[in-house]
């Protein structure tokens, strides 16, 4: 009787445990994944930097250097984790100029084609860009860059790449990016481009 009970319990609990394990590892995927190559150029309106006010391809400009590419759907408020991430990436890029580290944040927006929405969005991004010295902000339609496979459920996607090959990828649904993850991303950046 005990043996039968043990077998029944195993048959019930093993599939449940496997299901829980699968759900835990089934995380949000967005953008090019580790080991893949960056899918190519895209031209977004640059908010700051040398090409401010013009569409420009930062992937092309940065070439084979190590790059932090942030793709975001929502413009952050000053104290939100995305704003913290942008400031920390800016600081990390500034401290790793000898490693030629570069960084940009591309804001993808469904209302980009609407003149009034675009002007309001650009105004918000210009305000954020005032505090950034090295990270370039850019904005464009959420349908581009289509080859990058930015998941519609991902509010923030961070792709770290070197020589156009992805070395780390982080994706977060709306309000899931926290300060803990920001620190993990910064640690991955420092690993990709150590100080020289």
Given this model, what pLDDT does residue 3 score? 52
pTM: 0.86
Q: How far apart are CA 194 and CA 65, in angstroms?
A: 13
The pLDDT score that the predictor gives to residue 113 is: 87
Structural domain boundaries of the chain? 29-192
Q: What is the chain's pLDDT, residue by residue, as a tens digit (196 residues)?
A: 555 544 434 444 444 333 333 333 348 999 999 999 999 999 999 999 999 999 999 999 999 999 999 999 999 999 999 999 999 999 999 999 999 999 999 999 988 889 999 999 999 999 999 999 999 999 999 887 889 999 999 999 999 999 999 999 999 999 999 999 999 999 999 999 998 8
142 C-beta neighbours (distance < 10 Å), count? 17
DSSP 12: H
Give the domain 29-192 fold: Glutaredoxin (3.40.30)
């Amino acid at each position: 009787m005990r043996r039968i009970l043990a077998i029944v319990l195993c048959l019930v609990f093993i599939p449940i445990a496997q299901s829980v394990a699968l759900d835990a590892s089934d995380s949000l995927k967005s953008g090019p994944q580790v080991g893949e190559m960056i899918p190519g150029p895209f031209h977004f309106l640059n908010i700051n930097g040398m090409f401010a006010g013009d569409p420009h391809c930062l992937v092309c400009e940065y070439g084979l250097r190590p790059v932090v590419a942030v793709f975001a759907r929502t413009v952050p408020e000053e104290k939100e984790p995305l704003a913290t991430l942008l400031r920390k990436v800016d600081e990390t890029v500034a401290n790793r100029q000898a490693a030629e580290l570069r960084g940009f944040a591309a804001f993808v927006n469904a209302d980009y084609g609407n003149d009034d929405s675009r002007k309001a969005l650009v105004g918000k991004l210009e305000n954020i860009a005032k505090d950034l010295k090295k990270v370039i902000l850019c904005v464009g339609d959420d349908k581009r860059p289509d080859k990058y496979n930015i998941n519609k459920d991902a509010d923030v996607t961070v792709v770290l790449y070197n020589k156009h090959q992805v070395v780390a990828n982080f994706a977060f649904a709306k309000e899931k990016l926290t300060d803990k993850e920001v620190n993990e991303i910064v640690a991955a950046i420092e690993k990709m481009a150590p100080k020289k």
